[in-house]
Chains A and B, each alone.
Chain A
């Protein structure tokens, strides 16, 4: 009998959540939850390390769940070169978030348990290949995140949590319509199924209008989740109001679900529509990059700045997708991982600054490097990495997307290049005002360094952000076969 490694990885955190609630004391509960979160991390890392160049689905499990004449739902789970890195990233970020929140005092057991529930649902999203199962995991993600924001969030937590929930839920319903359309669109005589691998064989045969219609429906659902301008306004609220661990997972993995869905399902099922609508994706990507970068420049709250920068970075991913060529696509997927490491790092630093200095307002900070050099150094690493500097993973993504953009769209590459300057502008300016300079902060006397558990969490993320920036072959060996497979089956290359 083969061991269902993937299911073990997905559901261990759920079991861990129950055990954490039963633990009774924070000192025990946090250890239990950390262990539970490390299990999927080990399995995810094992897949990446042991399979040189993942070029097909691995750890595949498939069980018929509902099977009638008119409806087939299968529990089909597997990982490939697209999902395996995201799977491992999710597990890494939850472990890091638990570590970062080691001394959480407000209802700590529920807090850790919700993080683990969230982990199970996100892991399920990345592994599920049956649309129905995918949708269940996808919507379930909202529940733990809603409570994380609504209970542990900042001053406007209720408003932010509701807005997050309603906005993304509505968008998901449009996505669900798209799924239904795929299901009902199957030609006669074909067994009706939600299994995407089977659906995919027929979707390309749909009429052109239907393909475009369904693609747009899926795009709406995924674009809100990514998010891109103009459907992004839930994000600054949710990110700013969420507790640090919540922001880490929002930016690190929840946004990736949108891009993942777009690549896996929308483009995987309707490549023709993707080709037709590539100009639309291009415009969305470029507007997101420039619009969000400009808004970043005007921010005074560090966390709000980092939140808007996520929109800008997701714009880069969208641009890479729009190129529909191998290098641009590779860059888009690389951006998901790079941003998934660097943005959580930046959010953690915002959290540390909040703890250590009592504020995140740039004009009330100043001299962080002087008083708390460790905090200052990691913040600098986070910001310089996020602005796409060589040596960090973000650079690899950016260069690939830029080359892909020139290859696909020629001189339009000027717009993302403009974004590169603006991005450097807001991060470097923030460093000057918040980290450098004299000790002008309001609470400079009581400011204190980050505790060891926070340092450990940000250290791990910094390490990986640099590893994937220095030696990209570690990731591209998995991503490239997937991209080649996707683009060749869809007939683009």
Chain B
């Protein structure tokens, strides 16, 4: 059956990565077809596997089979007879772990990566978009081989991460995703801003990763103590309810801190406060990369990590409360940064941070009501499609205009209708307007947070923040759409404006259909598997609940406000020229100076310490060593008449002195040992 071959899903793109890296320069489209072909094939296999396993697996949320019930597992040790890494009592093995959470993400990632790989073939041209330095001079480097190699490595890693059967395996793929992100943000490495953004992304996420690593190391040891078996960090051990209880009883603090470590890893990867600073800068990469890695898949890995290890988080409620609060605050703060920005990709980046905050909020709410967990995962799926679509549309705009500043846009609906209408679908979805997908999941997130308020008053605060964020989201998204597609065109080169290539339009269309249909999954999925009795959503319930109308009203208000300020008649009055943002707008444009504060702190503390240690090393440690040499030399001058003062003499002096010392010590040793001391 197909699940036996699930390891092929990551293996295909990884093989393509090796091929393109080694031989890409000689392949058609510099390896583009090989890479995209492997990604599409693996996507198809992923979707098929997800479909097959969905029907076979039985699940129950906090049910009788432990937390997650059955999963299909397959390991390399079974297949090859050797574990991946063995030392002492620790046996780390690679493999496949397929349960309904895996399947949920596997299908989505399969479709998204296949779509974006196809889009890339049309989009990534030699010397297109961004292929110029800040002073406008072009760079004549064909980056397609690098692009397709990194893309294949990324897709293989993402799928490997989702399918992984061992926490260490997941960490390896997690890091490899980060590497691809780094390489692709720095795709136009000759631009200093891209090089700086790549560095920032690597280092900021690395801070989170180190917490992840600490958590992983701790879990390996404390679970090893509890189980005593030779299998380390295996998912079936880590997710086993009885084992978790035993560990929670034996090592409560260590378990709590390691789970917090996993969450902080997720905070870095999913760009939550306070490690959110890298994602807006990551928009320096090609827009396809922003769509795939920095909107649809990699940044979801953090959410997936928390969802995957929810049984562990569930054992430490204070961490889950932290997750909910961090998520809600991030959702709100990131939204306030999005409302003033004029860079279309940055607005979408802030929006991604904000929406990821929603998902974390949902998972955290899961501490009180199971529905929060389900709604968080549901929003993950919907967001993956509509945010990928938003970025791909922004990419199509950038493809035509070579520019991402919305102050130069306007009226593009006339020139690029496919882009305009598909983007409208995605905008409606993210704003939570029915029947688009975002409505269903956002509504559920809000409803579950409110419900959780009965368990703990904290969640009322979470709910209130989320509600305000819903209004802000509708406002900044329609601000974006109005500024871009309505009114009159404000830029130049009018004659070149058009929709993208057919590859691109096809993908936009398909994704637009997804934004319309995925939301309805809630009615079919709610009675089984992932959402087993956790989301009891029926059309009747939706229509009769006051909360539905409240969130619709908030969204409507946001759209109306956006129309009054950025509608075709008023837009000219509300555009702030570059560099003239003042007051609250200025503070928000500068992202509350968090980045500057980080830079200043790093510069003062870390580099300050580094310079101090460097000086200490030269002027104290090494100086003392030489001083000993000089002392010997001096002794030589004083005590000997045949001193020459040559450099080599101080060696001679030390050596002869030491030889005498050796002889003496040997005699002492001999004497003392001989007497049995």
Query: Which A residues are within 8 Å of any B CB, using their own CB?
Result: 158-159, 162-163, 165-167, 169-170, 173, 176-177, 180-181, 184-185, 207, 210, 229-230, 232-234, 291, 294-299, 325-327, 330-331, 367, 369-370, 373, 384, 389-391, 395-396, 399-400, 402-403, 405-407, 413-414, 417-418, 420-422, 424-425, 428-429, 431-432, 435-439, 471-473, 476-477, 480, 483, 493
Contact B651 A165 (CB under 8 A): yes
Contact A162 B210 (CB under 8 A): no
| A370: chain B residues within 8 A (beta carbon) | 139, 141, 189-190
Q: Residue B658 at the A interface, CB < 8 A?
A: yes
Contact B87 A326 (CB under 8 A): yes
Contact B213 A417 (CB under 8 A): yes
Which of B82, B176, B607 contacts A473, CB < 8 Å? B82
- In Å, the complex CA distance between A296 and B609 comes to 11
- In Å, the complex CA distance between A166 and B626 comes to 11
- In Å, the complex CA distance between A435 and B183 comes to 13
- In Å, the complex CA distance between A483 and B673 comes to 32
Which one of A184, A210, A405 has the greatest number of beta carbons of chain B within 10 Å?
A184
| A165: chain B residues within 8 A (beta carbon) | 651
Of residues 181 through 224 on chain B, the ones whose CB sits less than 8 Å from some CB of chain A are 186, 189-192, 194-196, 198-199, 202-203, 206-207, 210, 213-214, 217-218, 220-221
Contact B621 A233 (CB under 8 A): yes
| B87: chain A residues within 8 A (beta carbon) | 326-327, 330-331, 400, 476, 480, 483
| B214: chain A residues within 8 A (beta carbon) | 413-414, 417
Contact A421 B207 (CB under 8 A): yes
| A389: chain B residues within 8 A (beta carbon) | 175, 179
- In Å, the complex CA distance between A373 and B88 comes to 42
- In Å, the complex CA distance between A396 and B84 comes to 11
Interface string of B72-113 (1 = CB under 8 A from A): 000000000011111111100000000000000000000000
11 contacts between A and B (CB under 8 A): A166-B650, A166-B654, A166-B655, A181-B669, A233-B625, A294-B610, A294-B614, A298-B607, A405-B217, A417-B213, A477-B82
Q: Residue B27 at the A interface, CB < 8 A?
A: no
Contact B179 A384 (CB under 8 A): yes
Contact B614 A298 (CB under 8 A): yes
- Count, chain B residues at interface, CB 8 A: 66
Additional pairs, 5, CB under 8 Å, beyond known A232-B621, A298-B614, A472-B84? A295-B617, A369-B190, A406-B218, A432-B198, A436-B198
- In Å, the complex CA distance between A158 and B646 comes to 12
Which of B190, B609, B648 contacts A438, CB < 8 Å? B190
Query: Which B residues are within 8 Å of any A CB, using their own CB?
Result: 82-90, 133, 139, 141, 168, 171-172, 175-176, 179, 186, 189-192, 194-196, 198-199, 202-203, 206-207, 210, 213-214, 217-218, 220-221, 606-607, 609-611, 613-614, 617, 621-622, 625, 629, 647-648, 650-651, 654-655, 658-659, 662, 665-666, 669-670, 673, 677
Enumerate the 5 nearest inter-chain pairs by beta-carbon distance, A residue then B residue, closest first.
A326-B88, A436-B195, A297-B610, A298-B614, A327-B87
| A428: chain B residues within 8 A (beta carbon) | 199, 202-203, 206
| A480: chain B residues within 8 A (beta carbon) | 86-87
Contact B662 A299 (CB under 8 A): no
Which of A167, A210, A406 contacts B625, CB < 8 Å? A167
Contact A396 B655 (CB under 8 A): no
| B210: chain A residues within 8 A (beta carbon) | 417-418, 420-421
| A417: chain B residues within 8 A (beta carbon) | 210, 213-214
| Known A298-B611, A325-B88, A428-B199; contact A233-B617, beta-carbon cutoff 8 A | yes
How distant is B25 from chain A, measured CB to nearest CB, in Å? 11
Identify the closest chain A residue to B206 (Cβ): A424
Contact B133 A438 (CB under 8 A): yes
Identify the closest chain B residue to A293 (Cβ): B610
| Known A162-B648, A185-B673, A480-B86; contact A402-B175, beta-carbon cutoff 8 A | no
Contact A180 B666 (CB under 8 A): yes
Which of A159, A373, A403 contacts B90, CB < 8 Å? A403
| A420: chain B residues within 8 A (beta carbon) | 206, 210, 213
Contact B625 A295 (CB under 8 A): no
| B195: chain A residues within 8 A (beta carbon) | 432, 436-437
| Known A180-B669, A184-B666, A438-B133; contact A166-B629, beta-carbon cutoff 8 A | yes
Which one of A331, A396, A413, A432 has the greatest number of beta carbons of chain B within 10 Å?
A432
- In Å, the complex CA distance between A295 and B86 comes to 34
| A331: chain B residues within 8 A (beta carbon) | 87
| A294: chain B residues within 8 A (beta carbon) | 606, 609-610, 613-614
Contact B610 A177 (CB under 8 A): no
- In Å, the complex CA distance between A166 and B88 comes to 40
Contact A431 B613 (CB under 8 A): no
- In Å, the complex CA distance between A422 and B203 comes to 9
How distant is A259 from chain B, measured CB to nearest CB, in Å? 17
| A295: chain B residues within 8 A (beta carbon) | 610, 613-614, 617
Contact A291 B613 (CB under 8 A): yes
- In Å, the complex CA distance between A428 and B207 comes to 13
| A169: chain B residues within 8 A (beta carbon) | 655
| A483: chain B residues within 8 A (beta carbon) | 87-88
Contact A390 B613 (CB under 8 A): no
Contact A299 B614 (CB under 8 A): yes
Contact A184 B665 (CB under 8 A): no
| B650: chain A residues within 8 A (beta carbon) | 166
Which of A406, A407, A438 contacts B192, CB < 8 Å? A438
| B651: chain A residues within 8 A (beta carbon) | 162, 165-166
Which of B172, B610, B629, B673 contacts A210, CB < 8 Å? B673
- In Å, the complex CA distance between A295 and B191 comes to 29
- In Å, the complex CA distance between A427 and B489 comes to 46
- In Å, the complex CA distance between A405 and B58 comes to 40
| A425: chain B residues within 8 A (beta carbon) | 203, 606
Identify the closest chain B residue to A290 (Cβ): B613
Which one of A159, A295, A403 has the greatest number of beta carbons of chain B within 10 Å?
A403
| B191: chain A residues within 8 A (beta carbon) | 438
Which one of B88, B198, B610 has the greatest number of beta carbons of chain A within 10 Å?
B88
Which of B85, B133, B621, B622 contacts A396, CB < 8 Å? B85
| Known A298-B613, A413-B214; contact A473-B606, beta-carbon cutoff 8 A | no
Contact A177 B666 (CB under 8 A): yes
How distant is A70 from chain B, measured CB to nearest CB, in Å? 12
| Known A177-B665, A417-B210, A424-B202; contact A476-B85, beta-carbon cutoff 8 A | yes
Which one of B218, B610, B611, B659 has the greatest number of beta carbons of chain A within 10 Å?
B610
Contact A403 B220 (CB under 8 A): yes
Contact A233 B622 (CB under 8 A): yes
How distant is A419 from chain B, measured CB to nearest CB, in Å? 10
| B89: chain A residues within 8 A (beta carbon) | 326-327
Which of B168, B190, B221 contacts A436, CB < 8 Å? B190
Contact A173 B662 (CB under 8 A): yes
| B82: chain A residues within 8 A (beta carbon) | 473, 477
Contact A173 B658 (CB under 8 A): yes
Identify the closest chain B residue to A334 (Cβ): B87
| Known A233-B622, A327-B90, A367-B190; contact A184-B670, beta-carbon cutoff 8 A | yes
- In Å, the complex CA distance between A390 and B94 comes to 14
How distant is A413 from chain B, measured CB to nearest CB, in Å? 6
- In Å, the complex CA distance between A98 and B194 comes to 38
How distant is B212 from chain A, measured CB to nearest CB, in Å? 10
Which of B217, B220, B610, B648 contacts A298, CB < 8 Å? B610
- In Å, the complex CA distance between A325 and B89 comes to 10
How distant is A155 from chain B, measured CB to nearest CB, in Å? 15
- In Å, the complex CA distance between A403 and B659 comes to 44
Which of A326, A403, A437, A493 contacts B217, CB < 8 Å? A403
How distant is A149 from chain B, measured CB to nearest CB, in Å? 14
Contact A424 B203 (CB under 8 A): yes
Which of B141, B172, B218, B609 contacts A391, CB < 8 Å? B172
| B629: chain A residues within 8 A (beta carbon) | 166
| Known A327-B87, A417-B213, A436-B189; contact A170-B198, beta-carbon cutoff 8 A | no
Which of B139, B217, B655 contacts A413, CB < 8 Å? B217
- In Å, the complex CA distance between A267 and B198 comes to 44
